[in-house]
Structure 1
């Protein structure tokens, strides 16, 4: 816990995963935290999340309510199929291997369950939440955020956690900075086990595994949630939404036609879908800085490094950001150190966040290959190691021995401890 003279009043804009993670981490470090959120309530929105060990260890570290683990599903196996259904890669001991390698689980859960658990923990730590407050302006001179309701929130530091369409980012760059299309869109589907009457498919839901189907210009992923009582499917396909439209009600018929030649198992699952939305996948270019010159604004999560879902690292990386920032703020012994702490945060997180973004595009390229010579070479790499211990670079980063340790082995707590040990001058009072 920081001493009183170092205790910050922190204003966090956004109560998504990154914002509440930062709130928890900063509150545990002894700071006073207020979170401003435009939604009138933290409703159960969104669909499934794959929480990988780099983030699940943080959920353990923060001591979240037990229900979040009960609401999760730990996939025992992971399989990559060619779109025809042919198995290209299969890890029959996925859960066991993950725990042995990273001392933390890989779990699948509903975003609403995770957000609720984070919110409850933050409230327990004394974090104040202001819901239904849409941001109108930000004054960096007085470190004040003003809402459209006419309310003002002032403090020592503003944490921008307001996502892809960040008002904080607009204020920082001095203009509207809208995200740009990636050329893909996502169909997000949630089915309950009760909906599914086919015995084979029910077994698929009730015995958690992760399945990928990869094909020309598209791929699908399916996994269980809520202890095998719910199934999440995400379909990544070419973007057909009009310019300027980020979400639209989709046609179930159109969606099914896109996958008509794919694995019968996937098609059987899609036959249970009654309605679906289309989400345009957007991204931003890299920001030059994540901290402003006055050192009273810092960016985290999708506001500075929005991630596409190809590696499921958007949520996980956002939790890392919040953890690292809050932990670093816990080493302060004077408010005058804030600028150096924020610059260290930027040094630690910016390169990793942007590297993950680049890796997601590489995974899309490997999963979305059109049929042809390059695809055949890819499949040969897959099949040459099927049933064996994988060695070297691998087209699926989910079990790649090169990429997986870098993604899943990241320990935010150790990262901060090591950084402070290597930069002891950061803790020297700059006024002396």
Structure 2
């Protein structure tokens, strides 16, 4: 029996949708299963840096995303107390010229919509919602997957099964040596503020619609940027907190959250009180473990390596994973036993480097006392060219080119 040319994917979030498009572009038939009956995306804004947008461009998705996204002109770091500007990283034209692809900010639902539209227009991709991937068996011809759909159990054959089912992945538990998710001790508080709201107008000097702004503070930091073509401002505050479990939860703002925002600055205090509703998300991470079984199963995105958002690379890493895996299969002539170790060998160091960058950002943004003063002095002395050079390894990365057969 010949090896199947079908790819089976569990999970139709950003990772799964991207993987479906990447494999279809290389001539594979794809069956994409999603547990939910309808695809609706929780969350708010996300950043699409050049290392991700270059892949979306190759897939024909970038042109679908651009009308809803914003291309910020810069990233500005401010000290929350007093709102002093510390440094500015050029983006916009400068980013596109240097890294060969745009830096965009968008609403998560808009990115998912752009991907989903491309998937639905692709005749080689079959999307099945309301379907649960149960278990699987690998064999010489690939993998057979048990799927529950419409009350019936189906057995689907493919050459590769991809787990793109998120931080609480069920498929991860079926991969020997895979790590488990754990609470990081951090909570993200999110909301979107209409750009024409009175509060947004009154704080327009610190919430401009043409940039990403990070407000640094020892106990809580706030990220703000425009989404929905600039019609709304995405706000996300990150701090230590309790584990709220496996869900987004709209809350009026806990006493600890309100206190931290008030202490950071009067402006952040106003946002905590008057913007909203704020949604709390307990941040879970997946530690170092196996991402593939060496035969016919791979984990991508948060299912493999969920981490904190301090590097703003969660969606980008998922997109990179998908593109690199499809390239590895191509380089290995469709043999998963060769492709999976090759892919993991390339992707693990990359993800680890991004995690280290996130930890560094957290240290820098939450510095206090003399360390914060030193941080401000060093950053103010750095020229824009030097700042951009610091990100060449991150934003200039080409996930497909990194895979050598």
TM-score w.r.t. the length of structure 2 is 0.90
Partner of 1:51: 48
| Structure 1 equivalent of residue 106 of structure 2 | 109
Which of 392, 398, 403 is the matching residue for 1:405? 392
Q: Deviations over 1:289-342 (max 9, x none)?
A: 32214x110121111111211111010010011111123323454x5x331122
- Call closer, same or farther: CA 1:44–1:161 in 2, change over 3 Å: closer
1:218 to 212, 217, 220: 220
How many angstroms apart in 2 are the aligned matches of 1:245 and 1:65? 31
**In the alignment, is the contact (CA less than 8 A) between 2:53 and 2:62 conserved in 1?**
no
What's the CA shift for 1:285? 1.3
Q: State which drifts further: 351-360 or 30-39.
A: 351-360
Q: Tell me: CA distance 1:300–1:44, structure 2 relative to 1, closer, same or farther (3 Å).
A: closer
Question: Alpha carbons of 1:78 and 1:99: their partners in 2 closer, same or farther (altered >3 Å)?
Answer: same
Q: Could you tell me which residue of structure 2 aligns to residue 181 of structure 1?
A: 183
More deviation in 189-198 or 7-16?
Answer: 189-198
Retained in 2: the 8 A contact 1:52–1:316? yes
Query: For residue 394 of structure 1, what is the aligned residue in structure 2?
Result: none
Q: CA deviation at 1:113?
A: 0.8
For residues 335-394 of structure 1, what are the alpha-carbon distances to aligned partners after superposition, in whole Å with 9 as ceiling and x for unaligned? 5x331122211122121112212321222122112x223222222212333xx3464xxx
Q: Which residue number in structure 2 is paired with residue 428 of structure 1?
A: none
Q: Is the 8 A contact 2:133 2:145 kept in 1?
A: no
C-alpha contact (below 8 Å) 1:301/1:317 kept by paired residues: yes
Cα RMSD of the aligned pairs, angstroms, is 2.4
Alignment of 1:161 onto 2:161:
no
| Cα offsets for 1:194-244 (capped at 9, x unmatched) | 4345535457667321100111132110000121111101100111346x5
1:66 equivalent among 63, 68, 77:
63
User: Which residue in 2 is equivalent to 1:396?
Assistant: none
Q: Counterpart of 2:109 in 1: which secondary structure?
A: helix
Call closer, same or farther: CA 1:267–1:67 in 2, change over 3 Å: farther
Q: Which consecutive residues of structure 1, in runs of 5 or more, have no partner in the other structure?
A: 392-398, 421-432
The yes-or-no answer on 1:230 pairing with 2:232 is yes
Alignment of 1:134-173 (within 5 A): 134-141=132-139, 142-147=143-148, 149-152=151-154, 153-173=156-176
SS in 1 for 2:328: helix
**2:250 aligned with 1:252:** no
Secondary structure of 1:50's match? strand
8 Å CA contact retained: 1:26, 1:330: no
For residues 197 and 373 of structure 1, the distance between their equivalents in structure 2, rounded to whole angstroms, comes to 34
Contact 1:214 1:368 in 2 (8 A): yes
Q: Which residue of 2 is the match for residue 97 of structure 1? A: 94
Higher strand share: 2
Residue 197 and residue 303 in structure 1: after superposition, are their counterparts in 2 closer, same or farther (change >3 A)? closer
Does the 8 A contact of 2:12 with 2:164 survive in 1? Answer: yes
- Is contact 1:186–1:281 with CA below 8 Å preserved after alignment? yes
Structure 2 CA distance for aligned equivalents of residues 246 and 65 of structure 1:
29
2:235 alignment partner, SS class: strand
**Could you list the runs of 5+ residues in structure 2 that have no partner in the other structure?**
none
Call closer, same or farther: CA 1:188–1:198 in 2, change over 3 Å.
Answer: closer
Please say if residues 80 and 89 of structure 1, whose CA atoms lie closer than 8 Å, have aligned partners that are also in contact: yes
Choose the corresponding residue for 2:16, options 6, 19, 24: 19
CA–CA distance in 2 between the matches of 1:256 and 1:159? 41
Aligned positions, number:
396
Per-residue deviation, 1:117: 0.9
CA distance in 2, matches of 1:191, 1:362: 29
Q: CA deviation at 1:182?
A: 1.1
1:182-202 CA distances to partner (integer Å, 9 max, x unpaired)? 111000111222434553545
In the superposition, the TM-score normalised over structure 1's length comes to: 0.85
Are 1:196 and 1:272, in contact at CA under 8 Å, matched by a contact in 2?
Answer: no
Contact kept? 1:51, 1:107, Cα under 8 Å: yes
Closer/same/farther in 2, CA of residues 292 and 413 from structure 1, 3 Å limit: closer
Q: 1:298 touches 1:342 (CA, 8 Å); kept in 2?
A: yes
Distance 2:378 2:51 in 1: 27
Q: Which residue of 2 aligns with 1:352?
A: 350
